[in-house]
Structure 1
Amino acid sequence: MNARKFPLEPLCTVRGIRLRKLESELKACRERWQAAENLRVEALQQWQQSAQQRQEFADASWKELFEQGTPTAEAMRRHEHHLAWLDQLIVQRHDELERRSRECAEAEAALDVAATAWRSAHSKVDALGELKQEWLQQSRSQQALREEHNLEELMLRRTTLR
């Protein structure tokens, strides 16, 4: 056992480098997930707004159509046409929400994978740290024993030289 340097120091260095790389990847995955989640929430709000706008238009327009008596065919056609356009907008926004939800789920899955890899690497670094501490403690104990042995020999030589 080399008293100067931990024999697994190169492995500690490599695992430390790997852990820092995985930390960077984890951070990037977290940022991608957060961005995807923000876009998903935005898409959800837009979809909900579209549905609310349609409902508000349907209620208000229907009331306006009949306020002045029986509506004309042209007024009914415009009303139905506008409702169809709002329905199409709702479908488009729902499709966007589904796409954003999938992207968010994919980003979350990548984040989970990155977190698992980071935890594994962190555990390995911790285990090596514990081994190093045990080695240092053993090394110190052996050094103390050597010093004690040398001191005993020195004392014995002094007593035999007298």
Structure 2
Amino acid sequence: MKKILILVMMAVASFSTQAKDILPENVPAKVKSYVSKHYSKVNSIEWEDKSKKGYYEAEFRYQGREVELKIADNGTLIASKEDILIKDIPSFATDYIKKNYKDAQILGANKKYENGSTTYSVGIKFENDRGRDRHRNIVFDNKGNVIKR
């Protein structure tokens, strides 16, 4: 029983040290401006204050897709992760999957931007040579090179 109580207390303590959701009025104007400029019709944004790390985080749905942004205090984008529609996956990724994973089903994809570069992660489901279902995320750089399989 003591072990459980200690684990619960540790979990509560770890949550209290993480970033906290904040109200929009507590987000710098330049940060909010970035979102409104690039995602004009968003009205429900979950903000996290990570200013000790130099940014604010915004999470929201845009045109039915999940979007996560890390925006510096001065309003510049540091990193982003955005779900993309299957029809919007770059052809280099779909061509690679068709060639290397015959009959694979594309489950979803996202586009990430960080450190000045963009990557695409595509989740697929396929059957291996033993007839078992397998799942894999294949990550491509913006030139079509496979980074991770």
Smaller-chain TM-score bracket: under 0.3
The structure with more helix, counted as a fraction of residues: 1
Q: TM-score, normalised by structure 1?
A: 0.16
Q: TM-score, normalised by structure 2?
A: 0.17
Which structure has the greater CA radius of gyration? 1
The structure with more strand, counted as a fraction of residues: 2
